[in-house]
């Protein structure tokens, strides 16, 4: 069950026990992520971060994870400035990176790019988002955030809100929550509802899933509201975009009667889905979620490169 040397391309590459191992390792690494406990656990390791589309948050949290553990990084951030501009293929770029570094973190606009990379690289590949495809480390940090808040993932009542059709992270999150026995409520405009195949997969797992486009009703009894961005480019008609995105904006008034531990989550960056006044609410955990990206990615890097997490997170 060791993760040593493994590729992480999709949540489906991880078993339940493996996910739990990552979450446990992540908890142990929180003091290192906070900068309170220095670590040289990955000293001498070199990671390659190849970002072929912008994702500052993902890139910086991977860099932070690597550097707080003593590893070094080499980074491609601007496709225009890279060899790709000379016509080089992704294949050759990946082969080059696997000549240099001990692990490749890849962000790419094309679905399947990470799987291709993993086939060509003799070093482990972590998918940091491939177009409409997968973004497994986002799902892991989402799970870590819920688990930290509720000490469990089983039986949580989670509302998924916004764009459930095109938001890739929400698909693998839904699958993972199903795997751990959460109850899902889907709250989205019809044209942005969860794709058929994702829904079918949840049904086959025996996950408890209901649909409730009315957010106020959806929130009754909920533990978690997971908000996603509604993207303008999904709508031909801007008037309809304005109407839909307006109605899927979180009204702070809705938070008044929620349970004490009720949590509002968002993968960030947000635009207008969550108004700034929610930030001060004790229910707002999206910045904690942003922080937990670091120990979760630390755990993955550590387990993949060394097969273990240093005792107590330090060394």
Among 26, 64, 121, 139, binds a second copy (CB under 8 A): 64
Select the span of 5-13, 75-83, 105-113, 154-162 touching a second copy (CB under 8 A). 75-83
Task: Give the count of beta carbons closer than 10 Å to the beta carbon of residue 125.
Answer: 28
Among 291, 300, 301, 303, binds a second copy (CB under 8 A): 291
Among 4, 5, 12, 85, binds a second copy (CB under 8 A): 85
User: Considering beta carbons, is residue 46 or 254 the nearer one to a second copy?
Assistant: 46
User: CA quadruple 263, 265, 126, 35: dihedral positive or negative?
Assistant: negative
User: Considering beta carbons, is residue 1 or 238 the nearer one to a second copy?
Assistant: 238
Among 95, 115, 208, 315, binds a second copy (CB under 8 A): 95
Stretch (H or E) spanning 93? helix 90-100
End-to-end CA distance of the chain: 23
User: Considering beta carbons, is residue 11 or 29 the nearer one to a second copy?
Assistant: 29
265 touches a second copy by CB under 8 A: no
Among 115, 208, 234, 270, binds a second copy (CB under 8 A): 270
User: Considering beta carbons, is residue 66 or 156 the nearer one to a second copy?
Assistant: 66
User: Considering beta carbons, is residue 97 or 202 the nearer one to a second copy?
Assistant: 97
User: Considering beta carbons, is residue 93 or 182 the nearer one to a second copy?
Assistant: 93
Least distance in angstroms from the C-beta of 302 to a second copy:
16
Pairing of strands 72-76, 46-51: parallel
Backbone conformation region of residue 188, classed left if phi is above 0, alpha if psi is from -120 to 50, else beta: beta
Q: Which residues contact 15 (CB under 8 A, 6 or more apart)?
A: 1
> Rounded to an integer, what distance in angstroms lies between the CA atom of residue 50 and that of residue 101?
11
DSSP, res 265: E
Select the span of 43-51, 104-112, 149-157, 159-167 touching a second copy (CB under 8 A). 43-51
Pair 184, 208: CB distance under 8 Å: yes
Among 19, 23, 30, 93, binds a second copy (CB under 8 A): 93
Among 287, 307, 308, 312, binds a second copy (CB under 8 A): 287
Sheet order of strands, 46-51 included: 72-76, 46-51, 103-108, 125-130
Write b or e for each residue in 38-64: b if 16 or more Cβ atoms lie within 10 A of its Cβ, otherwise e: ebebbeebebbbbbbeebeebbebbbb
- List the interface residues with a second copy, window 98-157 (CB under 8 A): 99-102
| DSSP per position, 17-37 | HHHHHHHHHHHHTHHHHTTSS
| Dihedral (Cα; 2, 306, 14, 183), 10-degree rounding | 110
5 touches a second copy by CB under 8 A: no
User: Considering beta carbons, is residue 91 or 210 the nearer one to a second copy?
Assistant: 91
Pair 274, 286: CB distance under 8 Å: yes
Among 2, 15, 91, 247, binds a second copy (CB under 8 A): 91
Least distance in angstroms from the C-beta of 66 to a second copy:
9
Binding residues for a second copy, per CB under 8 A? 35, 38-39, 43-46, 48, 54-57, 60-61, 63-64, 67-68, 72, 74, 76-78, 80-83, 85-88, 91-93, 95-97, 99-102, 268-271, 276, 287, 290-291, 293-294
């Amino acid at each position: 069950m060791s993760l040593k040397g493994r590729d992480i391309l999709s949540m489906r590459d991880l078993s339940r026990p493996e996910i739990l191992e990552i979450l446990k390792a992540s908890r142990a690494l929180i003091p290192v992520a906070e900068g309170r406990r220095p670590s040289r656990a990955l000293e001498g390791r070199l990671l390659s971060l190849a970002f072929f589309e912008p994702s500052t948050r993902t890139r910086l949290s991977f860099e932070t994870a690597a550097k707080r553990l003593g590893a070094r990084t080499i980074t491609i951030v601007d496709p225009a400035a890279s060899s790709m501009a000379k016509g080089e293929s992704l294949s050759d770029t990946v082969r080059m990176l696997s000549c240099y570094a001990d692990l490749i973190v890849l962000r790419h606009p094309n679905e399947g790019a990470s799987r291709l990379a993993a086939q060509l690289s003799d070093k482990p590949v972590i998918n940091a988002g491939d177009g409409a495809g997968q973004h497994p480390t986002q799902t892991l940090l989402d799970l870590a955030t819920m688990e930290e808040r509720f000490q469990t993932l089983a039986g949580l009542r989670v509302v998924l809100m916004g764009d459930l059709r095109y938001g890739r992270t929400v698909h693998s999150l839904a699958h993972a929550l199903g795997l751990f026995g959460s109850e899902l409520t889907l709250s989205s405009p019809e044209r942005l509802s969860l794709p058929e195949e994702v829904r079918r997969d949840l049904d086959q797992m025996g996950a408890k899933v209901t649909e409730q486009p009315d957010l106020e009703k959806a929130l009754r009894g909920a533990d978690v509201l997971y908000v996603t961005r509604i993207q303008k480019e999904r709508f031909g008609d801007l008037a309809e975009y304005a109407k839909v995105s307006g109605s899927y904006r979180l009204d702070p008034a809705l938070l008044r009667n929620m349970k004490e531990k009720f949590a509002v989550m968002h993968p960030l960056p947000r635009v207008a889905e969550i108004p700034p006044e929610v930030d001060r609410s004790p229910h707002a955990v999206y910045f904690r979620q942003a922080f937990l990206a670091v120990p979760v990615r630390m755990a993955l890097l550590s387990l993949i490169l060394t097969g273990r997490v240093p005792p107590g997170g330090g060394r």
